[in-house]
Amino acid sequence: MSVTEQASTGDRWECIGPVAGGGTVFSVAVSSRGEKTLYWAATGCGMFMSEDEGETWEQRINGLTTPLVSAMAAAPNGALFAGSLNAELFRSMDFGKTWEKGTQGWDAEGTVTAMAVSPNYMQDGVAYAALDGGALMVTRNSGRHWEDSSFGMNSMTVIAVAVTPSWEQYETMFGATDQGVYISRNGGRAWRATSLMLDEQVGVLIVSPDYVNDQTVYAGTESGTLYISRDQGRTWEQLHEQIADGPLNCMWVAPDFAESGRLVAGIGNSIYVSSDRGSTWSLAHEMPGAVLSLAGDGAVVLTGLYDAGVYRSLDSGDTWESATGNLAARGFARLITSDGLLCTMGPQEGAYLSEDAGDSWRAMEGLEMYLPLAAMSMPGDGQVFLSSQELGILRGTAYGKSWRLRYEKEGISALLVLPEENLGWAGTVEGELLTSRDGGMSWQSVEDPPTEGQEVLTIVASPAFAEDRTLYMGTVIEGTRTNPTRVALWRSRNRGRTWHQLTTQQTDSRWVHITMPVGVTDGVADQAVLATGPYCLRPLRRAKDVWISTAVDPNGANVLSLVAIGEIDNGALLYAATGNGVYRSTDGGRTWHLFSEGMEGQSVIGLALLGEGDSRALYAMGLGGLVWKRSIA
């Protein structure tokens, strides 16, 4: 059977679970779809939705141009608004199935810290976004366009925003900046300072659901101080100098606040509750991470945690349990294989290893002091090499059970070690090259590297390195006024002593994945393929050093990883991990077709191949660390 005649032996992908569940949840929200209540979590890996009070979660990222979602809000009709860590603003009008980026009237910068929706949204289509560095933004057409709404605030740092529940007479709302609390009585068109101007930052604003009658607003600070206004923000008094040790990060007020007086506060890693409108507080629960957000309805209260997913309460905050379910929002960046094992790494997540084909994973211990990580090499025989962005090159033994710093150097961005050849190579963000002549135990700087000034993204060796002595390297050539930014491909035929630039690809992407096909015994080093931006580049072997660039996904999704099987010029099978799922080519990368049955809607960041012959399986890691498996011939 030729390679082009082979097909997958399984007609769907099987989800085998996350590498590690949870992750950081910046914001939570509750919305309704008919009689069904939907629960939302905004993470650094996109949006997640639950229909069963957090028992299970579904990733919803279609249309998001960034996964770094830092804040969100839900409208009464189920419309959703989301903001990112880099000031982008999005809306969804179909309960999160698809997202659309809104246009902005000016170049806002910073992180979206909070969002709020007009109580009269069904008629006015108004929503607000607070930015740390971009002031306050407003949309008056349901998220299609956003414009500045901070006149009178005198600050570009807006941390919190809250609207009052009834806008029939006055469109009253409150905003917190790094200077204090401001009030607007005309829907954010103009602001003026209240009497609560402080030296410390106000990060929390909560309005009573019974505001029309009790005129009550709460403000919390980074030192844990709680203030209250009982006259629509005209005057303020200190209710508590410090509820507990730690910053007051978030608060939730019960819908029946007029009767119950119920408030829930997230202070540091703890949840505190009050049943007397904030006069007294009691500790309800110690969380495994900092409490970043609170939201709920009358039945369920959710909290988003730093590095620990989602917890829920079914009794208005008195007791809590994990509701992370299958939510995976971890910052993993690579999926590789070594000695029949699966390995993955993330800058802040550390390194993980699976010895049972992805059924279970264990974290490599002792890496906390070396984070963040930048590169990983798994040469086998239990050895692991990692680059710490700030400290240098680490060597681990027994698959990461002990670590030793082998070379001190900041900014090492690419790493490859071949102990059986007693060789190693590394590159830095400044274009410096390093070599090792003792299998990674010691390192030396290369004089006058050809890549000086170019960030080194990756270094890989030919599968037949012992015979062909071939290495490939990818770098970034920064753009100028006359030349755009490009990714460059380099090759060495003499174990890295000299390098030759083969081709470049115009792209703003700062990554490249280079692979060579399995199942090839003749000239494998001449059949390297690479992914960068939305492109797959393959060599035209009949012409010397000519490379063909092909866009994989017709919608322009980025290609982050490749697996190749068979001769590139003889109908090789190629698999590509993209932001819109897995694609397959049966003609050596000339044409591509979606190959995502069973994992629709997933953004895939890594692919790896395990096994031999009929027992071969392809593994895919989705954004956040969810792993999928599919058998192939």
Phi, psi of 24 (to 5 degrees): -90, 125
> Is residue 9 over pLDDT 70?
no
Q: Which 8-state DSSP code applies to residue 124?
A: H
In this structure, what token pair is assigned to residue 403? 């670590």
* Cα–Cα separations (whole angstroms), residue 168 to 7, 125, 172, 184: 63, 15, 10, 15
Note the pLDDT of residue 494: 97
Q: Which 8-state DSSP code applies to residue 195?
A: E
**Whose CA is closest to 330, among 45, 15, 49?**
45
> What amino acid occupies position 63?
G
Q: Are 589 and 549 in contact (CB under 8 A)?
A: no
How big is the chain, counted in residues? 633
Q: How far is CA 35 from the centre of its chain?
A: 32
pLDDT band at 10 (very low <50, low <70, confident <90, very high): low
pLDDT 10s digits, 375-408:
999 998 899 999 999 999 999 998 888 999 999 9
> Is residue 361 over pLDDT 60?
yes
Buried b / exposed e across 493-528, counting CB within 10 Å, b at 16+?
A: eebbeebeebbbbebebebbbbbbbbebeeebbbbb
Considering only the C-alpha atoms of the chain, give the largest distance between any 2 of them, rounded to a whole number of Å. Answer: 83
Question: Rounded CA gap, 253 and 200, in Å?
Answer: 23
3-state helix, strand, coil in the chain (%, to 5): 5, 50, 45
Question: Please, what is the Cα angle at 208 between 207 and 212, to 5 degrees?
Answer: 105
Question: Rounded CA gap, 588 and 567, in Å?
Answer: 8
Average pLDDT over residues 92-121: 92
Note the pLDDT of residue 1: 36
pLDDT band at 140 (very low <50, low <70, confident <90, very high): very high
> Is residue 11 over pLDDT 70?
yes
Q: Set out the domains of the chain in order of their start, with CATH numbers.
A: 3-14+330-631 (2.130.10.10), 23-251 (2.130.10.10)
Note the pLDDT of residue 185: 94
pLDDT 10s digits, 39-74:
999 999 999 999 999 999 999 998 898 999 999 999
pLDDT 10s digits, 492-531:
999 999 999 999 999 988 999 999 999 998 899 999 999 9
Q: Are 538 and 520 in contact (CB under 8 A)?
A: no
Nearest 10 degrees: Cα torsion 366, 370, 374, 376: -30
Strand, helix or coil at 212? helix
pTM metric for this prediction: 0.89
pLDDT band at 174 (very low <50, low <70, confident <90, very high): very high
Percent of the chain with pLDDT over 70: 98
Question: Rounded CA gap, 242 and 225, in Å?
Answer: 5
Note the pLDDT of residue 328: 94
Count helices and strands in the chain by DSSP H and E runs: 4, 59
> What amino acid occupies position 610?
L
Q: Are 171 and 187 in contact (CB under 8 A)?
A: yes
